[in-house]
Structure 1
Amino acid sequence: MAKFNHAARTAATSPVVTERTPSVRTYEGAPGYVRDAKSELFLLAVTHMVGEPTMYERPRKRDRRFRRLVHQVAVEDGEWLARFLPWLRTEANMRSAPVVAALEAVRARLDAGLHGLNRQLVDGVLQRADEPGEALAYWTSRYGRSIPKPVKRGIADAIRRLYNERSLLKYDTASKGYRFGDVIDLVHPSPHPDKPWQGDLFKYALDRRHRRRNGIPERLSVLRRRAHLMALPVAERRAVLTGDDPEEVAARLAGAGMTWEALAGWLQGPMDAAAWEAVIPSMGYMALLRNLRNFDQAGVGDAAAEKVMAKLADPDEVASSRQLPLRFYSAYVAASSRWRPALERALALATSCMPSFPGRTLVLVDTSGSMTWLRISARSTVLPVQTAALFGAVLAARGDQVDLYGFADGVFKHRVRPGGSVLEEVQAFCERIGEVGHGTRIADAVRATYRGHDRVVILSDMQAMIGFASDGVMDSAPGDVPMYGFNVLGYKTAAMATGRADRHEFGGFSDVAFRLIPLLEAGKSADWPF
């Protein structure tokens, strides 16, 4: 009788790997598994808001762990890090963590006598025009004003890509410790050969920083148009917004690089409907998303609202905006129902990597106290549990037969209506937080809900408690049933052995890591998503 040569699913491996047997404990006392350095760094980096506290780690402790892992991997496998960090910035949509990681990696590599890749590491993570100044501020606060050449050259490369008239108007403000002129002074970039105006821009940024009263060069037309607007008496400025041709008014503001923040300051008065309607055509995606409530309060008209909704739901705009999916939920909660169809469409586009599972799937969302105690960052209104609930609702809406449960000390089932609003379901799910206690009993939750499903997906901080039925997550479902843990906070200790034997773990605030799951479902070993 054949034992092996029959239809069977191939055992697949995944990149986030732990030891095979537990050697530590989770923060809540269950058996814990130590990850290798790359795996630990990956899960921490995709969830790390630098300087922000979590339930179980103070900011300094978490930041130290991050730096230690970066230093180790930078020396052991710089090529891996050089692939990972640009992905972390551009695909996983993290901002501070990749900048910190690149600079700390250079420091560790220089200390170890390694001189390749360093300039590339810095350049690859700077994707917005305020980030060269952020990088210098971080370096000098940690290591002083002696800046190594690879750091300077990497920042200079980024400046050539990122500095233009509009970015200078938006980001070169008095609130910044490092102004554009300071950065130029320190790293001495040469103008890009394909940007003949950039030399004039660099000179003007230096003159502006050092308060030299030289005029604006002729080639810097955006800056000259802004200066013309600023010269208008305050009493005459609001009349600019009431011109005969609204498109002409919008074009005039856009041509002067006028952001909504700049317009509000220029008017020195409230942003009424006319002001918003004039600046909406030139507003960026994030600015639109964050101001939906302001549009409602000002009474923005239907024509302008249609433009906003069209941009919010445009696939190319969503892709280039690099918004984390949780941003759409925040906007949904804050804004009126007017915007909800566009936000629903935008969320669907922003979670395009989420799989549509065939067969029966069990999805468990952690509603314990550690998922609800702190917001993701000081500037965010979103809790970790809301991110987990969002991913759970998307999986439930897309799969064939998905059973979605919340769990803590007990479990509750949440039914997702076919074809219904995912954002509405997230809100309804989150209203049930606290219904079944506040513990993190992962193993008990799986045992209580598993009924022959084809796979189990756990959305949690993975800091399991010792359960009543068993204190291990590994055997809470049959060993040949794939179990995927999606870690939304990146703590050090894993709740199950991962990377092999149908036990896998991913993480983050974006949908990109989910793209590995279909490979594993097909019996293929999955590499890093970058």
Structure 2
Amino acid sequence: MSKFNTAAARSAGRGPVVSERVPSGQTHEGGPGYARDDKSELFLLAVSNMVGEQTFYEAADARDERFRALVHQIAVADPEWLLGMIGWLRGTANMRSAALVAALEGARARVAAGAHGHSRQMVAAALQRADEPGEALAYWTSRYGRAIPKPVKRGVADALRRLYTERALLKYDTGTRGWRFADVIELVHPAPAADRAAWQGDLFAHALDRRHGRDAEIPASLGMVRARAELAAVPAERRRRVLAEAPERLAQAGMTWEALAGWLQGPMDAAAWEAAIPSMGYMALLRNLRNFDEAGVSDAVAERVALRLADPAEVARSRQLPMRFLAAHRATASLRWAGALERALGHCLGSVPALPGRTLILVDQSYSMSARLSRRSYLTCSAAAQVFGAALALRAEHADLVQYDAVSEPVAAGRGDAVLRVVERFWGPRGGTSTADAVRRHYRRHDRVVIVTDEQAHHGQDPAHQVPAEVPVYTWNLAGYRHGHGPSGEGNRHVFGGLGDAAFAMVPLIEAGRRAGWPWES
């Protein structure tokens, strides 16, 4: 009788996140804890780490120190891998703080080790918005003083030439920042980019003049900056009249909605919002839907906003995390945004695969999942798990969606349902984490099992041990703690992670018996 060559035999794929096969530690709740190799641990931590943020089980300082230590090791051992992760982390995953810290700490480790190359590229790859060069130097000097290595300065200068524009100066170079544009320029001494030489040198000079209080004339090449200065000179009592008669001047002057509110020196009424909306960015629109409703923005303007929100190209360019759409949905009382937000969320979750066959999806709703994603957000790991679980269920051919803590129960999710509606059916974070019990109660010869969790299961065995070895079990880790609840990397047991959907694309590769590489390698 054959032991291996059976009708159920399939080629097993391999995943990038690799752990030990036998537990050497414990989860924070005392369950068996499987340690991962350094790259796997860093990846899972990076894609869930907002830097400086408390989590349910791990203090911010301890978490950040673990992150830095892993970066230091890998920066010296495999800088190409770290460079790839930083670029992907800041780009596709849109994790600003984690990418910035990884880049600077990686550069520091390489300089300390006397290693050449990669440091400058790491720093440049992490800086993708015009306020980030100043953010990088603030981080470095607050930790290590003003002695900044040349690779770090050169990486900042490379980014600065890409990012410093008139619009960026007007938006980000404010007195609320410790590092102004001029401070960065004076430290790294950038030459203007070759394709921007006609105006960028003037921009650098103007940034220095305004920082040091010099009353120099704004260069003619800086038309937007001059337009802003002209608006600033309009007497306060005439500004709403100017807004009504010539709203196009706002865009010409690079006026953000925040700047407009200050310029008007009064409330943002419907007329003000309607003038600002055409030049607002995607994230600004998403964050202000409730303000539009409260100000009484017209249905015609609201319809144009909704079309932008639901536009797939706009969603792709914005690189929003899926939870942003849930936050916007929960913040608005009006139903006029619901359809657009659902469509936008669908575009944002484009990498979630349509899984064939029967899929069991278990969504952790234990109390530890109540940890907020950041101190500025009221959304939690629990909410992120709900979004991913619902999206997987609605795209799968046949899915059983289950929520669990110390007990478990099915969540209704059928054809034609909306992700945002399904999310409303979860009970939210409460009780303990009985993952193994949830698997035992609900596994019924499914083709695969997906567990969306922080992996901090209670006492017991690996939760997947009850599932036959030939059936894939995928754990989606949302917290990045050191020990996981089961093995990973081979044998049909795999862990992914993060607050975005990109790594879900690994599932079809693994099930086709191929090796799924890191997201930036595909």
TM-score range, shorter chain: over 0.9
Separation (CA, whole Å) in 2 of partners of 1:292 and 1:190:
41
Q: Please state whether the residue corresponding to 2:451 is helix, strand or coil.
A: strand
**Superposition deviation, residue 5 in structure 1:** 8.8
1:302-381 equivalent positions in 2, closer than 5 A? 302-335=299-332, 336-372=334-370, 374-381=371-378
The SS at the match of 1:509 is coil
- The aligned residue for residue 448 of structure 2 is 455
Task: Identify the residue that residue 133 of structure 2 maps to in structure 1.
Answer: 132
Give the superposition deviation at 1:472: 2.4
Does residue 257 (structure 1) correspond to residue 258 (structure 2)? The answer is no
Q: How many Å separate the matches in 2 of 1:401 and 1:7?
A: 20
Secondary structure of the residue aligned to 1:310 is helix
Aligned to 1:227: 229
The corresponding residue for 1:394 is 391
1:528 aligned partner: 518
What percentage of aligned pairs have identical amino acids?
Answer: 59
Q: Distance in 1 between matches of 2:380 and 2:119?
A: 36
Give the residue type in structure 1 aligned to 2:236. Answer: V
Partner of 1:365, secondary structure, is: strand
Quick check: 2:9–2:470 contact (8 Å CA) kept in 1? no
Structure 1 segment 434-473 matched on structure 2, within 5 A: 438-467=431-460, 471-473=461-463
Amino acid corresponding to residue 148 of structure 1 in structure 2: P
CA RMSD of aligned residues (A): 1.2
Contact 2:23 2:34 in 1 (8 A): yes
Alpha-carbon shift at residue 521 of structure 1 (Å):
1.4
CA contact (8 A) 2:412 2:425 kept: no
Residue of structure 1 equivalent to 2:209: 207
Partner SS for 1:386: helix
Whether 1:270 aligns to 2:267 is yes
Point out where structure 2 has 5 or more consecutive residues left out of the alignment: none
- The residue number in structure 1 matching 2:404 is 407
The CA distance in 2 between the partners of 1:327 and 1:172, in whole Å, is 26
Residue identity matched to 1:40: E
Match of 1:493 among 483, 496, 510: 483
String of CA shifts for 1:292-315, please: whole Å, max 9, x gaps: 000000000122112211111111
Q: Distance in 2 between matches of 1:70 and 1:212?
A: 43
Q: Read off the aligned partner of 1:200 and give its amino acid letter.
A: D
Shift of 1:23: 0.7
What is the count of residue pairs matched by the alignment? 517
Contact 1:47 1:490 in 2 (8 A): yes
CA distance in 1, matches of 2:375, 2:338: 25
Instruction: Give 1:478 shift.
Output: 1.4
Please name the residue that 1:91 is paired with: 92
Q: What is the distance in 1 between the residues matched to 2:516 and 2:27?
A: 26
Output the TM-score relative to the length of structure 2: 0.97
The separation in 2 between residues aligned to 1:425 and 1:11, in whole angstroms, is 32
Residue 474 of structure 2 is matched in structure 1 by 484
Superposed counterparts of 1:113-192, under 5 Å? 113-192=114-193
Shift of 1:474: 3.6
Which of 421, 428, 431 is residue 433 of structure 1 equivalent to?
428
d(CA) in 2 for partners of 1:27, 1:511: 26
**2:488 counterpart letter in structure 1:** T
For 2:126 and 2:117, the matched residues in 1 are separated by 16
CA contact (8 A) 1:250 1:281 kept: no
**TM-score, with length taken from structure 1:** 0.96
User: Which contiguous aligned blocks of 4+ residues in structure 1 show a shift greater than 6 angstroms?
Assistant: none
Matched residue, 2:241 = 239
1:390 aligned counterpart, secondary structure: helix
How far apart, in 2, do the equivalents of 1:60 and 1:482 lie? 36
Q: Secondary structure at the match of 2:15?
A: coil
Contact 2:366 2:405 in 1 (8 A): yes
The aligned residue for residue 107 of structure 2 is 106
Q: 1:127–1:158: 8 Å Cα contact kept in structure 2?
A: yes
- For residues 304-359 of structure 1, the C-alpha deviation after alignment (integer angstroms, 9 at most, x for no partner) is 11221111111111111010000000000011211011101100000000011111
CA contact (8 A) 1:466 1:472 kept: no
Deviation track 1:143-178 (CA, whole Å, cap 9, x = no partner) reads 100011000000000000000000000000101000
Corresponding letter in the other structure for 2:207: A
**Contact in 2 for aligned 1:281/1:307 (Cα 8 Å):** no
Letter in 1 for 2:81: W
- Gaps spanning 5+ residues in structure 1: where? 244-248
The aligned counterpart of 2:35 is: 34
Are 1:409 and 1:438, in contact at CA under 8 Å, matched by a contact in 2?
A: yes
Q: CA deviation at 1:456?
A: 0.4
C-alpha separation in 2, matches of 1:282 and 1:250? 11
In 2: Cα distance, 1:161 partner to 1:328 partner: 29
Structure 1 letter corresponding to 2:278: P
